[in-house]
Structure 1
Amino acid sequence: MQLTLLLIALALFNFTSSENETILSSLISAIEKATLFLKNEYQEFNLDGVVGFKLLLEQVKGTMERWAMKKELYFYWLRLKRLENTLTSLTKKATYFAKQSDPQYFNDFRDLLTDSFWILPSSWNHTNPELVYLLLEDSQVFSEFFSDKCIILLLGTRNDQGESCVVSSPCRRKMTKSGYTDYLLSHQLLYFIVGKMKGCTRNLFTQDAPYYTNMFCANMMKKNVEIEYNGFPKLQQDLFMENIMLCGLSGFLDFYKLRWMNEIISWQDSTSGCFDIAENFTTSSVIEKEKQSPKRVKRREKKVSERCLCHKTSVAVGALGGFLYSFQLGISYINNHW
């Protein structure tokens, strides 16, 4: 499967060296700008803001491993090496302040910031449109508190015996139920990702996981296509990038469309390097709109400086890091026309 996709990519696209370098340089520059934002604001980041940069650090390392023997990429490898050193230092500093700002929340999700937690894809898949389902009514949704509790049971951070990978019946029902969309859907996928990263061996995370991750990402792809069709509304940009980050991390290469990468980069503030809120919305108005729509259950957002958003910047770097990690396989281009 992986070899076939690579051969198709080579047959369909014949990028010159200069075109490749322009794309790669633009991508790395965007990541460097976002890292500069972290450097200037790391004391203000909450845990959810740091997670994306921690994932980015692993994506940078993974990319460097694949580029180590490629002389033609040595200049870019050096840029990534500097980036790795900077991210390593900054994520440690940001982690310290995230712990101080909310000790209980930090304790619950601390595993997400450990060095060995995030495992990058070793093989690639493609979403299946046949798995797109009909949506449930709003009365069927679950709360952010419920989602957090289910993930905490997997992490085992509130268990006196240190037992992890605990799956309660309510969590199993909700986290495997079809019909959800938006952040509820991405939280379902995150639940399975955490189970995989934690090394859970229950059938839910071994035998059943491929089916559910395929179903979730098929519907997340449908949502992203809708967002693109509607002109990338400002309030849906965060969700759009979160879907790319999570499904890319799950090995679905068709989320790495070149036009989507360019669109994301265009949203970045050129001065601060962050990803920000709409000009006609205040942070409070954004939060109020999210309360009115129970489908919008995302991780904790925090405004930094005048208009920069931690969670939005976090998912942006997680998504862009995925584009970087997939770049050396030649798959960032093929999906531009699929």
Structure 2
Amino acid sequence: MKAQLEVKWLLFVLLTQVGVSESLPDAGVTELELPGRLQHLISHYAKNPDGVNVDGLYGLRIAQGALAAAVKRLSSTAKPDVHLVSVLTNITKILDKVCRESQAKIKVSEASYYESFKPVLDTPYPVTGQVKDLSKHTDSQTQSKQPVHRYDEHHGDICYTKLLGTYHNTDTDTVYHKCYIDDDCLNLMMEGGQRRYVLTHQLLYFMLAQKVGCTDKINSAIKPLSLNHLEQRFCEKIWTENEQLYTNTSPHIRFFDLDLFIEQGVLCAMQGYGEIITLSKLRAVLSYQDRATGCYGPAFRHLGGKRWNITKRKEKADVDRCLAHTTGLAAAYLALSINKYYT
């Protein structure tokens, strides 16, 4: 059985090979076969749309945005690689179908959660084409300071939904309109000394503000800072953590850190800090992709059960033990890597 899987995997790679070696200075990128690996992942959910949850759909929407940006950039070059554009366009069509079908199911299976985050789930997530540099240092004073408030996912979700205009306080029967920003949420989302998922979820708050058109209100609320400055500070700290999670010893990233590692790379690369993704990190992430299914989560067998709360958000495993949150983010990570290395 193992030998058969190896042969199938080899055939899959050969059949999806993209002839772009002339346009890529680093042959290591070509060897990774990113378009084929991404298509394999997405094809799993084309056959199993029930396996996607809200958080997984968010990752797939980011992948849509990254692929759209890649196709646009490649098509606008003087001599576009027609074959590569065709391959990526085909993957985009498959992904579009997956998002439509999974979204229709999520509207029923996770109705309340879906409605809360609908403004960022209905369309592809735009990915900036601007390349930004990280100064790669952290504010020592902020880094050493202990957080005053304990971040919890429930409080965080309230802040997100106030921003998105989907929060309804049933106790007071108050409906909050889009771009509602209060001091309580700003203090929570700007508090220093945070790490791991709290840090990425703080950054996500400000990214959502941009996505739904609240940039001016956020900039006004955080003066004398600016949104761009704040996001750079977050990504500097996240980059430092991401470097620490990657080790020189195989498999380079511990499985229990994999979801966080990918999330860190996705959020900062989306904002233009693509240097957080490197070839060595990309290889490590790809090493966890299941060759039979194309998705992420074979180590799930060690955890047992159908649901696993890794991020204090919802994780879901399908019949093939594919983790929706991790796999959705991995799709975004691969698409952002294509955008970085193939365009």
Are 1:181 and 2:188 an aligned pair?
no
Which residue of structure 1 aligns with residue 160 of structure 2? 151
Which residue of structure 2 aligns with residue 272 of structure 1? 293
Letter of the 1:86 counterpart: I
Per-residue CA shift, 1:293-336, capped at 9, x if unaligned? xxxx443110112421000101111111111122245xxxxxxx
Which residue of structure 2 aligns with residue 299 of structure 1? 313
Q: Distance in 2 between matches of 1:86 and 1:31?
A: 11
More helix by share: 1
Letter of the 2:207 counterpart: I
Give the conservation status (yes or no) of the 8 Å contact 1:59–1:325.
Answer: yes
Per-residue CA shift, 1:148-204, capped at 9, x if unaligned? 111101100135767201112111001011110000000000001000111102124
Q: Distance in 1 between matches of 2:186 and 2:227?
A: 12
Pick which of 161-170 and 30-39 moved more: 161-170
Q: Distance in 1 between matches of 2:36 and 2:27?
A: 12
Letter of the 2:94 counterpart: T
Counting matched residue pairs gives 307
Deviation of 1:79 after TM superposition, in Å, equals 0.6
Q: Find 1:123's aligned residue among 103, 127, 130.
A: 130
Pick which of 231-240 and 36-45 moved more: 36-45
Q: Distance in 1 between matches of 2:211 and 2:24?
A: 37
Q: RMSD of the alignment, in Å?
A: 2.5
The alignment's TM-score, normalised by the length of structure 2, stands at: 0.82
Which residue of structure 1 aligns with residue 323 of structure 2? 309
Q: Distance in 2 between matches of 1:77 and 1:286?
A: 38
Give the conservation status (yes or no) of the 8 Å contact 1:64–1:81.
Answer: yes
Deviation of 1:285 after TM superposition, in Å, equals 11
Deviation of 1:29 after TM superposition, in Å, equals 1.1
1:55-134 paired onto structure 2 within 5 Å:
55-70=62-77, 71=79, 73-115=81-123, 118-133=125-140, 134=143
Are 1:30 and 2:37 an aligned pair?
yes
Which residue of structure 1 aligns with residue 54 of structure 2? 47
Which residue of structure 2 aligns with residue 219 of structure 1? 237
Are 1:248 and 2:262 an aligned pair?
no
Per-residue CA shift, 1:36-79, capped at 9, x if unaligned? 11112112321111111111112111111111144452111111
Q: Distance in 2 between matches of 1:244 and 1:300?
A: 20
Q: Distance in 2 between matches of 1:182 and 1:245?
A: 14
- Pair 1:20–1:74, CA change in 2 (3 A): farther
Pick which of 314-323 and 186-195 moved more: 314-323
SS in 2 for 1:307: coil
Q: Distance in 1 between matches of 2:326 and 2:123?
A: 22
The alignment's TM-score, normalised by the length of structure 1, stands at: 0.83
- Pair 1:65–1:193, CA change in 2 (3 A): same
- Pair 1:162–1:253, CA change in 2 (3 A): same
